[in-house]
Each structure stands twice: as C-alpha cells, then as structure tokens.
Chain A
C-alpha cells in the first residue's frame, strides 16, 4: 500500500498548524520566524472562521497606561483569584508577564491599539477592576485577524483553507502528521509533519445555545484525546451571563459585557435589580459565573420574562451615551431582535461561551504526546474555573507565540518519521464511510439532541442525576447512533452535511469528557455549579481533573494544583 493510493494529496511540512484563529496564525508566524516550513489549515475560511474574529472586547495587558498601579503581578493575582485558584500558575505567570512584551510585537505586525491623546494606550476596566483592556473601538478580534492574516500572506506561509483536520497520525509514539479533508474538493490530504500545533478553538457547539461560531466543535481536543494526550478541567465551561433570549431562533447570541459596563441593569419580571441579592457590591458587574448563576436562579424560580430570560435594561442611560459607547451593539441588537436598547429592555439568558478546560500543556505549549503542541482556547489550565473578560485574547497571543517557537524548535531537532499508509487508509475508510451509508441517520438530527441534552443536564447548574442522564444519552449515541450517522453519496464537493457527520464523533467525545469531569468534581467552584454540592471545598478539591484515553476507556483522576505563587486565603 502506497501513501498516494490512499490519499488524494500528500503534503510535507515541518510544522502543521490546525486552526487559523489568532492562536494558530501566530503559531504559524513564529514557526516561520525560525525558518522551518509551515502549513496552516482552517476548517472554515481564513480570517473569517473561529471565535477570534467575533470578539469585540479586547485584550488584557497590564502595561499600566490606563492605570499606573497595574502591573503583571496584579494581573496574575486577578487571573488566579478569578479562576478560583485552580489555574496552572506557571501558565498564568507566563501569560501576564509576556503579554506586555507581545504588545510591542503585535504593533510591529500592524495591529492598532486605541490611544489616548498623549500617545499612551487607552485601556479600560471590565467590571470596574484595573483599566487593563486594550481595545480598538469594538473591533478587537476582527482587526487582529486582518493584521495577522496579512502577516501570514506577506510571509508566503502555505495556507490550506477549508481543510478540516480529521485525525492525527502517529509513528513510534510521536506525532507524524495528520489527515485532512479538503472540503471544497471533497478529497483527502495526508499531511506529513514533524510537529503539529492544535489551535482549533473552543467547543461551544456541544451546547444548544452558544456564542461560538459553527466551527467550534472541539475537534482539536477530541483528536488530542484520541492519541493519548491529557485534558484538564473539562468541567469548567464558561457561560456568559448575557446571551440573547429573544428571538428564540437567535437564543445564545452574545450581548457584550460592555452593555452592563455602561450601566445597564439586570431586572427580573418584578422589576427588581436582583443582583443586589447575589452580589450587592458589584451588582451587574459581578463575575461572569456569579451573574450567570443569578440569572439562571431567577428564571428557575419563576421570576423570568416570557422568553425565559431576564431583562437587560439600558433605557435609563442617556441615548447619546448609548450611541457613543454602544452604537454598533445597539444596531446589531435592533437588527436581530427588533428592540431598541436605548428605549426598551431586551431579554437575556446565559449562553455557552468559553472552555477553560482543554489539552494539558507545559508553559512551552508541549503536551504529553511528543510532537503535539497546543495554543489558544485549545489549551487547558490557564484560566482555572473562570476566565476574566479579555484574558482569552491574551492567551491566544502569548501561547500562540510560544507554541510556534516550541513546535519549530522541536521540528528542527526531530527526524522526519514516515507515515504509515495503513493509518491513512483507515482514516479514509472512516471519513468516506459516512457517504452513502444504508439507513443512515442525518447528523443534524442527533447533533441537536446531544446539544439539548448537554444544555439541560450539564449546563449552568448540574447535579449527579442530571449528569448521569446526559451520560446515558452519550453512551446510547455511541453505541446506537454513531455507527449509523451518515449522509447521501453523490458529489463530494463542499458537503457541509459530510463535515457535520465527521464532527459528530468529536462532539460526543467532548460531551462525554465534560460530563465525566463534572460528575467527578463534587463541589461548586467558579463556572462549575453542582446543586448537590453547592459549596466550594478547598480541602478536597483544590485540584485539576484530568481526563485521558487509556486503551479506549475514558479515565479520569485528580491532581493537586501547584500553588507556586499564590495561595487561597484559607489554604
């Protein structure tokens, strides 16, 4: 069996990057800096797919222009306190220190930051903390993607657009490449690579309601899991407090925190500013997990609106302030809901936003699998049990950068390993097996059921029973539906349904990880709320949950968090 008999195309490179959000692009750019050959793949369009392009808020960098009392140490503390002390503090140390350096590097790639008139950076304070977030109007991520994409083009780095990496290939216990589906042509590409960087972003699509874009199906985490990497804290899923609750068809769409920062109130159906009962000090600007839980409780206890949410009311704020600070948001909301933020309340409910849990990595972005590196939201451990707004972009930049350097160094030192055509053939069989299966189940059907189940059972608030209910569905789907998922055969060009079929197994794997980890952690901490264990338990649970594929079985255990710099007050 020859490689070119089982793959339509064979591509050789030193560093293969899967995912072209800011993390992936920066990894590619830095690897290119070290003069290795780089190939970047993205499942969706370049510059457009992924979550980075959607982010509006900006990035946390403690450069101290907005607030002279701010510095990386303060940023470190905020991040670890925000993460409820289960962050990997080594990663947080790198994050907060190097963010300041990267600012200069980003500017040298054409990224623009809003200034003050004295030429210093403009920084603002989400949630009334330190003025630390650098912004560009409400463009942030979209602008980063434009600038980084141009940098990639300028360097002539090889780009594989609309190529979905479907599985990693291993030789002798190390990564040797990956298989990708060229969606436009419906053909299989075998990538031979000395190192692979996974940067496929979050996995919001396991939930019925999410702010995430359509590509965020957790492919990277699932692929890493399949080759034996460890994942940590997968139960830690951030629900952003304000997703749209109305119209129902757009439930989950993000309403930026900026609305509350400008002074909007959260009201229940009695017209009460209910946050006074949950966090009288910080009110609407309390931590994301606190606000999300509060909204959830209000609705559960019958104080919600007719659309199953609460009101987000900005009508008391002068219209010119809204126009100046939230002009774009106002128009988007108007367009999506028909409601005018400046005049009437809108309906909001939490939405799945971010995965704090992910592939376990060292500060150099390496994983337990030789040759496999991760960056961006794919990486676990940085944010612990809750992420601060603006800290994700920082993660993409700092660790995208590091992953590129580490992968390039590794690739330089590594020998090229041959691909086993048999592995490619197996993957081909799996991928093409979805086409023309008899009595097939359409992926969009089972996907929806899975998403509903995860939303209802392993969402904002969980119990042993609800999680077990989800696991029963997952097990049933693995046994009965997964083997039947398929799509009609015929032309293979640009088959979205085929892509959905391939994604489905990944969604199942991620759902199982989240559920098992959520069942395992018998306490409530940050984003993880167990109704049956409502308190935080530092005595027993100041730990990471670790998930690993051991001979086809999902194993889960805990490991203590190393508190190298900051300890919780009581510990």
Chain B
C-alpha cells in the first residue's frame, strides 16, 4: 500500500507591487484532511513554507467576511471554500480591486464608493423612553438582506461591475442600500441613490447569489424588490421598459408581431402525439416564440410529438410577466397570472413545458407566490424546461437524427443554468445530434448582458457586458453558438453581427434539433 498521504495542489498568486515587476504564481502542495478549506491550506503554507505569504482572515467560520479570494476564478471566502484531494486550485486576490500584496486587496476605492452611497440610518423622531413598537412582520424584507457579511465576493464576479463600476455600485453595495431601505424605522430615503447608482444595471444573472456565502438571493430580494419600490414611487422603471409594459397591457405580449403569430397559425389547440402515449403537456410559448421566433415554436411542437407526447397549446395564453417582474412593474401581473392559469386549466393541463429559459424560471420560481396571492391557491401545474423534461422526465432519446456536421459552442442562459440548475440536459440533447462537436468556451455561464431589462433599458451597458462573451466564443473556433433563451439568441446575434462575425451562426437549441430531425 502506498504510504503517500493525499495532497492538494495550490497555485497561489504572489505579488508585491513595491518590489515585483509583475505577479507570479507559486505552486505548493498541502497535505489533505477531511473537511479542509482553502483558508486552512493558506495558513499551512504560511506556517510551513513561506511566512511572508499575505492573506486576510479572522473568524475562520465565514462570519466576518475578511478572507474572500478567487478560487479557480470564482470569488468566495477562503474559509468557505472546500477542497478535494488530488485537485489543483488557483488562488488569486479578489478582482476589480488593487492588490496590496499577494491575496490582500486594497478596499480604499470600495470604501469611497460606500461612503458616497451613504446607506445610513437617520431618524428625526424625538428619543422616546422605550423602543418603538413595530410588528415583527415589518422586518421580513430586512431579515432577507441583513445576513450579508460584506465579504465582497459578489462584487468581484458581477459582470456589470466588471465593465462599468462607475455606473453600477454592484451587488454587495446594493445589499447595504437595501438594508437601509427595508428598515421600517429608517427615514433616510435611499431609493434615489439606488436608482442613480445602478438599480437598473443588474441583468439578474444570479452570479452574485451563486457565490454569496450567505445565499442571499440578491437579484430578487435586492434589485427586483427595490425596483418594485421605485416603480411604486414613480422613480422607475426606465423609459426603455415602458414599451414592453404598454405592449403587455394592450396585447398580452411584450413584443410587437412579426409575421403571423404562432398561436394564430395553429388550427387546433390539442395535438395528438405521433404515437399514442400517455404523456400530455401544455406548451407555454412565451412572447418571442409566438411573435418573433415562430420556427422555435414549430420545432418544439414537432420534437414533443415525435417523442410521443400529446401537446396542448392554449391560444389564450399570454406573457408570463417576466419582463415586468425583473424591472419591478408589478401592476400588470395579476392580469397575466390569472389569464395564464385559466388558459391552461381550461384544457386540463397538469404539466407545463417550455423551451424558454425566462418563462420556465418565472413559472417555477415566481408563479407559486403570485398564484397564491391572486388566486388564493397553490400553483396547479408542474413546470419543466423542455430539455429537462426530455432528459429527466421522459428519459427518451431524440428520434431519427440525421448528421449535422458542425463545431458548436454552448452558452448557458443565466436563468437556465444558475436559475434552474440546468446545465447538463441541453448539452446532452445537443451532443446526441450526430456530427455535432461541442467545444466549451472559457465561461459558458457568463452573462451575455441582455437580461433584467438591461438590454431594453441600458443598451450601452448591455453592449459592454456582451463583448467578453464574443471574445470567448471566438476563442473556441466554433461555427455556431447554441443556446436556449430568446434574449440570449437576439443579444448574441447582434453582438456577433456588430463585431463583424456574421458567419458565426446563433441557434436556438430547438432549431438545431429540428434541422437534424428533417
């Protein structure tokens, strides 16, 4: 038996700006033990190999927020980052901040920003003898954001901060603002500051909440919630958001028609499966597949039927409401939720399937709350993303696929990957097409910049965010990008066009499958 103990390998960023011309990476091997964290390894290196290695820590139990570093490209508190034996970890300082030495960054810039935001508490009431009487439920929103340990992990992974920190304070700082905004005794009005400092610059990509050690649902409980407050006071949304809002109010769809809408083109609402099987789903088209990307809708219907599923498509379904939820314009919602629930219930649907990342996320994560609120009952449908339905529920292979010889790369829509944890299913479908060669880009799940109303409301910021994505796509040498969200498709198409790469195709996954099925 081998006497060798398991080790973990680390490549640690070393840099003393005063003495070194440029940073270097030093390799260390650290003996592994069960339960070891990155911080333990750094302490081991400091105690045993190099006492001059600089890093910060204090509590060791992710309470204080001192120790955040980049671990293989993602930020997290070192004491919260697990390690596995035999693996290698690259440890770097938080990005977006200047380095003092090694893993220690200078927070000066951040503090300046913080003081400028001024998320302070102010009261003008005369001092009473007793604490104020406030019922506990008034603190519900506050509690959701109070746990932030200010580790600033989120700030160094936010795509908006990366390209435009000057206009987007960033997730962690917005959490601080939210703490002020949600304290029922605070008289300091922070919403105008929030609005001016990036309230509408968040794409709701969820990268921040993914790295947050306290699991704060930042896009929802900070951005969307404060946007809703801003809208109710007439501070938001942005002019660009009013267009879809008006459209939804008039037509039930967030975009204008192009060609004959899919729902108008189908004769019937119930499509029997090509073989007779017991599976029956309702197809939720979403605005874009109905009005703009009709081939996607046709492909979806086709794929499901070929897989032996009976497909029900209520013609009176409307926008899921996602574009309005993201920007905080909630007054349109009651109508949409009621209409959609009625439409699918009318045809006895129990299971809803959609290939739209945004719709599926909204139906899964927002509808339960709204159905309860507006209809006083539990959400009556199970909701699946199409790829999830095929791979995890039906567990069937796509039938009769022809070869499509193509080198492609996959872009994970934020609302599909981080939003619903769906990464492997679409890849499985994609690679089941003979001839398709999948080359992963450096960060397939990095935001394209379209979501959260940023494309419609802040086009310049959106363009800045997407630039990185174009670079990553080009690096793969792929002939096409495949993805699964209408906004991503449109955004990536524009981005490639404007960068002069009209030759690189952008596919909705269903488009490509359809091509293989013909």
Contact = CB atoms under 8 A, between A and B. Distances in A.
29 contacts: A47-B150, A53-B59, A54-B64, A104-B129, A104-B131, A107-B131, A108-B123, A110-B186, A114-B139, A115-B138, A118-B133, A119-B132, A121-B131, A122-B136, A137-B147, A146-B150, A150-B176, A184-B100, A213-B58, A213-B59, A213-B60, A250-B60, A444-B46, A487-B51, A488-B52, A491-B101, A495-B54, A496-B55, A497-B51
Given A119-B134, A137-B146, A493 B16 contact: yes
A119 B142 CA distance: 16
Interface stretch (A78-86, A279-287, A330-338): A330-338
A414 interface: no
Nearest to B214: A328
A63 B128 CA distance: 14
7 nearest A-B residue pairs (beta carbon): A110-B121, A119-B133, A497-B51, A115-B136, A494-B54, A48-B64, A154-B120
B244 interface: no
B131 A113 contact: yes
Nearest to A138: B147
Nearest to B56: A45
Contacts of A336: 35, 61
Given A48-B66, A107-B132, A442-B51, A491 B56 contact: no
B4 interface: no
A153 B115 contact: yes
B65 interface: yes
B310 to A, nearest CB: 39
A116 B137 CA distance: 9
Contacts of B47: 444
Most B C-beta atoms less than 10 A away, residue of A108, A109, A161: A108
B16 A491 contact: yes
A142 B148 CA distance: 9
B52 A150 contact: no
A104 B180 CA distance: 18
A495 B16 CA distance: 11
Contacts of B136: 114-117, 122
Interface string B181-202: 0010110000000000000000
B114 interface: yes
Contacts of B36: 249
Contact of A496 (B46, B59, B128, B185): B46
B28 interface: no
A112 B66 contact: no
Contact of A332 (B61, B102, B123): B61
Interface in B43-71: 46-47, 51-66
B40 interface: yes
Given A53-B63, A122-B136, A493-B100, 4 more contacts: A139-B147, A184-B104, A495-B54, A496-B53
Given A45-B56, A118-B135, A250 B64 contact: no
Contacts of B40: 249
A491 B47 CA distance: 18
B130 interface: yes
A496 B138 CA distance: 44
B133 to A, nearest CB: 3
Contacts of A44: 56, 58, 66
A338 B134 contact: no
Interface string A122-158: 1000000000000011010011001100110110000
A424 B186 CA distance: 45
B114 A49 contact: no
A120 interface: yes
Contacts of B183: 110, 112
A51 to B, nearest CB: 9
Interface in B415-458: none
B85 interface: no
Nearest to B46: A496
Most B C-beta atoms less than 10 A away, residue of A109, A110, A117, A337: A110
Interface in B107-151: 107, 114-115, 118-121, 123, 127-139, 142-143, 146-150
B33 interface: yes
A337 B36 CA distance: 10
A296 interface: no
Contact of A491 (B18, B121, B186): B18
Most A C-beta atoms less than 10 A away, residue of B33, B60, B106, B115: B60
Given A48-B66, A247-B33, A444-B47, A491 B61 contact: no
A107 B130 CA distance: 10
Given A139-B146, A249-B33, A338-B35, A490 B52 contact: yes
Contacts of B180: 110
Contacts of B130: 63, 104
Given A53-B64, A496-B51, A496-B54, A247 B118 contact: no
Interface residues of B, number: 67
A485 interface: no
B54 A150 contact: no
Interface string A440-464: 0010100000000000000000000
B395 interface: no
Nearest to B67: A48
B5 interface: no
A105 B102 CA distance: 42
B397 to A, nearest CB: 38
A14 B212 CA distance: 40
Contacts of B118: 154
B210 interface: no
B121 A213 contact: no
Contacts of B56: 44-45
Contacts of B80: 335
Contacts of B16: 491, 493
A488 B52 CA distance: 8
A215 interface: yes
Nearest to B63: A54
Given A110-B120, A491-B18, A48 B150 contact: yes
B104 A494 contact: yes
A84 B507 CA distance: 76
A450 to B, nearest CB: 15
Nearest to B138: A115
B58 A214 contact: yes
B518 interface: no
A150 B119 contact: yes
A218 to B, nearest CB: 16
B19 interface: yes
A253 interface: yes
Interface in A487-539: 487-488, 490-491, 493-497
Contacts of A142: 63, 147, 149
B135 A119 contact: yes
B156 interface: no
A108 B35 contact: no
A193 to B, nearest CB: 23
Contacts of B123: 108
A491 B63 contact: no
A337 B33 CA distance: 11
Contacts of B63: 53-54, 142
Contacts of A54: 59, 61, 63-64
A103 interface: yes
Contacts of A114: 136, 139
A108 B130 CA distance: 11
B52 A250 contact: no
A143 B146 contact: yes
Given A143-B146, A150-B119, A495-B54, A45 B66 contact: yes
Contacts of B143: 136-137
Nearest to B148: A146
Given A107-B131, A110-B120, A147-B121, A337 B35 contact: yes
Contacts of B149: 48, 142
Nearest to B54: A494
Contacts of A332: 61-62
A249 B43 CA distance: 12
A491 B51 CA distance: 12
